[in-house]
Chains A and B, each alone.
Chain A
Amino acid sequence: MGVTDVVWSEQGTTPDAIEAALRQLLVEVHAQDESLVPARVLNMIAFVDREWTGEIANRLRGVGRYHASRMLVLAYESGRERLDARVTISTEHDAAPGELALLRETVVVELGEKHLDDLVTIADPLMVTDLPTLLWSPHGHQDIVGELLSLSQAVLVDSVDEPVAADALQRAWSLKDQAYVVDLAWLRSTPWRERVASSFDPPARRPDLRSITSVEIRHHPASQVSAMLYAGWLASRLGWQTDALVAANNSLSGIARDDTREVRLCLRRAPELQVRGLEGVTIQTASGRSLSLDRGAGGLRAISREPDGAEHQWTIPGASRGETGVLGEGIRQALLRDPTYVPALGAARAMAA
């Protein structure tokens, strides 16, 4: 993982032994090089299927500086009787002269059915006290998530992983009262939210927000939830009431309403899109003005059409974060609080009803 890797492992171990080994390793590493200090930002628990541990490790390797300061991977294997553990302490970079390098701790504990009833007592001693904890269960195991929520302040989900959008939204909704929900499906839409917010921000454009007549959101076929959350965000921020959307051809469509007007909503599949998330957004206003944003090389391709028919095209620069970037952002968001997600989720649920 990094330039300094110190490893300890033991078969048939206990949480106490793992915790003692962690403490000892940290003391030894710091004694050897005072510029190496432990990061103390965030605990993260990942409950994963053991056979996919390598894939999860690969995904986490890509998040770089957003790696949790202590990462506990609970690797589940059916039929396993023994608790085995491996501790790795690493740095991402060597310390420059006179500067510090941060140590990250990764603990992989392999366990089986017999340990599930006592999972909290296995995980709890391995968390750094007083740090917030983010819980992630990328392979399902919702019952286990319920168990471990008592140790966590935030839970990482990816609503596009669920095959049925309504189930995904319901799942996130049910978690929101127990922990802060960080939804990667929501984070994939962040640049789109920023750009539309920015497009309507000049004072002369703000009144247009009250005269939007239609919104089309184009999305990866597996990212319908992201499109619903995006539409839910617009609805919740602009005070629209949303009803269930209706499926037709490759899209979902419906009507949102405020006190004075109706807004046509269309969530259209974009089979050509290779990556999860949104492909484009088009917003039209009553005056005849429209704004389209679409993925393009080096940023979003923007097209605005004025009521008089004049058209302008330009590129809004921005680099793609990729899926590892989205995951890293998800980990970072565990330390923040976005007050707009839950209202957007609520509006999206109404569309998926």
Chain B
Amino acid sequence: MAESAQILTLPAREFRLQPNGDRPKRILIVDAAVACLAKQGLKKTSVEEIAASAGVSRATLYRIFPGGREAVLTAVVETELARFFSRLAVAMGSAESMEEVLVAGIHHGGTQLLDHPALQTMMVTDPEIIISVINFEQLDHTIATAATFAEPFFTRWLEPNASRRAAEFAVRVMVSHLIDRDQIVDLTSEASVRTLVRGFVLPGVEALKDQE
């Protein structure tokens, strides 16, 4: 838990080059919007609140984001996805074995999503938005996108075709536990994910490899 908490509290702003006062207003606005979403969900978050929370005027917000609320929200999604995938890449890229890649990906991916303050709030306030990315055609699309990201991390141990399948398999296992939680597997516990990986995921990947 301590380890996952550490990953989650490493905001992108720690890597900023400017002193705090000079942070570009664009980033201030995006981060303020994330905080608003975490506090009250999507429907209640207005341009006025985002601007107030960022400490800028409404006019400044519209100068930076001429598209208004929609444009800010698009930037939020893109920023949060970039943060999500870059943290996950750090975790998966430092793995020294295929077991570690699987554990890192499923545990860190799952923990980031389960512990994300804005996602957690929106699961309650705007569940239809979250749910819409995990059903039927959208689920296929979501799995394919995540598998495309994860695939290169398997190529140290697997042929390209098996890498692709292994990545999709791991994403599928993670998503299943995200949308339907049980008493057996806790994605936020590395030990629990390791048991899952050793028991079912790694042997499945090894069997995939033998088929190629």
Indicate, yes or no, whether A interacts with B: no
Chain A residues packing against B (C-beta within 8 Å): none
B residues with CB within 8 A of A: none
